[in-house]
Amino acid sequence: MRQATSNICTVFCAAFLAVGIVATPASAKDGKRYFSAEYRLYVSGLLIGKAGVRLSLSADTYELSAHMRPAGLGRIAGQSHIVSTTGGALRGGDFVPQRLDLFWTSNDTIKSSFMDYVNGAPANFVSGYQQPEEFRSKTPVDIATVGSGTVDPFLGLLSTLKGRPLRAACNGQKRIFDGRRLATLTAQDAEFVPVFEHDFPTRRPAVKCSVLWQAVAGYSDASLERAAEFPPIEAHFGQIADTGFAAPLNMRGRSRYGRVTVHAVRFFEETLTPVEPFNIREIAEK
């Protein structure tokens, strides 16, 4: 389950945008801003999963937490829940990761992985997931060689805008590292979409582009063969309120199972009430 989830996130998480607004942002009593969003995952038009996302921002820190769960026909395949929480510093508008925690339920038990960073570079990865032989790379990635400037697949949901226009979210490349595998996501062919030409859950302009995923290192031959089947993803992105960050409104691509769509039904709504990261133990007890 974790292997499939990581693949979905790596393929679909990344690219995003900006538009400036003159306003005084509201903050909670602790000086942070809190947002939440909800996504749906469809394969060939059939609902198979849901994802909740929580984001907290301060002037110099961030925390992003996501909870993915089966829904619709996805419940037939399994009942596993996945929670990812990543946090770190903000420097010059860039993410500087410090810690990634990943939890998932499996056969009534909770398993976990974590990755620590030093100065934004992955430094230590410990996983409770044993990769099947067919998914193991013949040339594993040495974590000491990855360096700074990478983000995990979930943090790849966000893009920093740093005062640039909205279409900047659809120009550039991200390095994605999940603890074992390194890949790139390249966004290109940006196309501005005015508010009156879309029906996404935001009253802001959007930007449309294609996103190309490419393996760099750490992938098995079987994974590389599957990856070759994926054409570029079509994605729309929108700005998160008046922050310097953006996230996907929807993403569409094709796989061996049919057309895959990730769609925001609620897009980063702000609240003055602090939101905590998702707790896998509380979820498992329900």
* Pairing of β 121-127 and β 109-118: antiparallel
Say yes or no to pLDDT of 10 above 60: no
Residue 144 has phi, psi (to 5 degrees) of -70, -15
Q: What percent of the chain has pLDDT over 90?
A: 64
Say yes or no to pLDDT of 91 above 70: yes
Closest CA to 240 of 45, 67, 71, 34: 34
Lowest model confidence (mean pLDDT) among 7-16, 69-78, 214-223: 7-16
Give the pLDDT confidence score for residue 22 in this predicted structure: 28
Question: How many CB atoms are closer than 10 A to CB 5?
Answer: 17
Give the pLDDT confidence score for residue 112 in this predicted structure: 96
Closest CA to 37 of 23, 51, 58, 24: 51
Read off the pLDDT of residues 100-119 as tens digits, 9 standing for 90 and up.
999 999 888 999 999 999 99
Read off the pLDDT of residues 194-249 as tens digits, 9 standing for 90 and up.
999 999 998 889 999 999 988 899 988 877 777 777 789 999 999 999 999 999 99
Number of domains in the chain: 1
Give the pLDDT confidence score for residue 17 in this predicted structure: 26
Q: Residue range 180-198: average pLDDT? A: 93
Q: Which long-range contacts does 229-235 make (Cβ < 8 Å, 24+ apart)?
A: 229/255, 229/256, 230/11, 230/254, 230/255, 233/11, 233/12, 234/208, 234/209, 234/210, 235/15, 235/170, 235/187, 235/208, 235/209, 235/210, 235/211
Largest CA distance in the chain: 54
Question: How many CB atoms are closer than 10 A to CB 183?
Answer: 23
Q: What percent of the chain has pLDDT over 70?
A: 89
Asked whether 149 and 234 are in contact (CB, 8 A), the reply is no
The token pair at 255 is: 């796989």
Say yes or no to pLDDT of 9 above 60: no
DSSP of 204-273: S-EEEEEEEEEEEES--HHHHHHHTT-PPEEEEEEE-TTSSEEEEEEEEEEETTEEEEEEEEEEEEEESS
Give me the amino acid identity at 89.
A
Q: Residue range 119-138: average pLDDT? A: 88
What confidence category does residue 255 fall into, taking pLDDT thresholds of 50, 70 and 90? confident
- Better pLDDT: 172 or 4: 172
What sign does the CA torsion over 74, 80, 81, 87 have? negative
Give the pLDDT confidence score for residue 245 in this predicted structure: 92
What sign does the CA torsion over 165, 168, 169, 174 have? negative
| Percent composition of the chain: helix, strand, coil (DSSP 3-state, to 5) | 15, 50, 35
The token pair at 232 is: 């570029």
Q: Residue 74 is part of which domain span?
A: 2-285
Strand partners, 37: 53
Say yes or no to pLDDT of 2 above 50: no
Give the pLDDT confidence score for residue 28 in this predicted structure: 60
Q: Report helix, strand or coil for 121.
A: strand
Torsion, CA 200, CA 69, CA 120, CA 206, rounded to 10:
-10
Read off the pLDDT of residues 22-70 as tens digits, 9 standing for 90 and up.
233 455 666 899 999 999 999 999 999 999 999 999 999 999 999 999 9
